[in-house]
Amino acid sequence: MSFLIEARGLAKSFTGGGRRVEVLTELDLSLRQGERLAIIGESGVGKSTLLYIIGTLERPDQGTLHYEGRDVTLWSDEEVSRLRNRTVGFVFQFHHLLPDFSALENVMMPALIARRDRAGAREAARELLETVGLEERLTHRPGELSGGEQQRVAIARSLILEPRVMLADEPTGNLDPATAGEIEDLLCGLNEKRGLGLIVTTHNRQLARRMNRQMELHDGRLAPVAL
């Protein structure tokens, strides 16, 4: 059985204040198409760094990262960003929506940047906002939406280029428990209905338990954990 994503021996360190911090050491991770994986770990342990590397936004110092059997660490930045656009959707703890644009425009934005047809992008964005339950909020700006609604817009935006895997970094980290539960349902529904792979970092045990597998990041490596 082949993997959508397979990382082997990832290492990453940062230098700051004259000190070198080894964040990831000899880290292995794999994800099958349509699988959902939770990564838990204390604050500062390297969860965001790991998602950035898995999502090809950052390069590892060492190790390999295969997408469908191809080692993308050997590719140019341009080749990697093309793969990323086609394959990976990102959802962050802080939604990073553009405050001066409507929900619809925010969701369309990645498609416009990728030079997709504007009418098609608008229709796809409208459908996605309907999918996340915001068909009544198309023209609202982020500041006119609740935290949960903003995160739904961010989820819709992450789907506009039809990724095969979503990397969600503490997607419920800023939400009250009831709203967090709704976002959990939405993510799990996207996985079940669309076969979207999910890698979720979280402190929320309930969310972690709803994934197929749970791993803990500690001392630069991942190990299976039972919650």
State the binding partner of 171 from ligand ADP, Mg ion, none, CB within 5 to 8 A by kind.
none
Residues making contact with ligand ADP (CB under 6 A) = 14, 16, 21, 23, 41, 43-49
DSSP letter at 194? H
Amino acid 21 reads V
Nearer to ligand ADP, 59 or 122 (CB): 59
As measured in angstroms, the least distance from the Cβ of 167 to Mg ion is 12
Residue 17 or 177 with smaller CB distance to ligand ADP: 17
Residue 128 Cα to chain centre, angstroms = 17
Binding-site size for Mg ion (CB under 5 A) equals 2
In whole angstroms, what is the distance from residue 29 CA to residue 173 CA? 23
Give the list of residues 6+ apart from residue 227 with CB closer than 8 angstroms, or none. 40, 205, 208, 209, 214
Please name which of 80, 20, 17 lies closest in space to residue 52, comparing C-alpha atoms.
Answer: 80
Of the two residues 48 and 179, which places its CB atom closer to Mg ion in the complex? 48
48 scored as a contact of Mg ion (CB under 5 A): yes
Query: Which of 20/193 has CB closer to ligand ADP?
Result: 20
Distance of closest approach, residue 29 Cβ to ligand ADP, in angstroms: 14
CB count within 10 Å of CB 99 equals 8
Q: Which residues bind Mg ion (CB under 5 A)?
A: 47-48
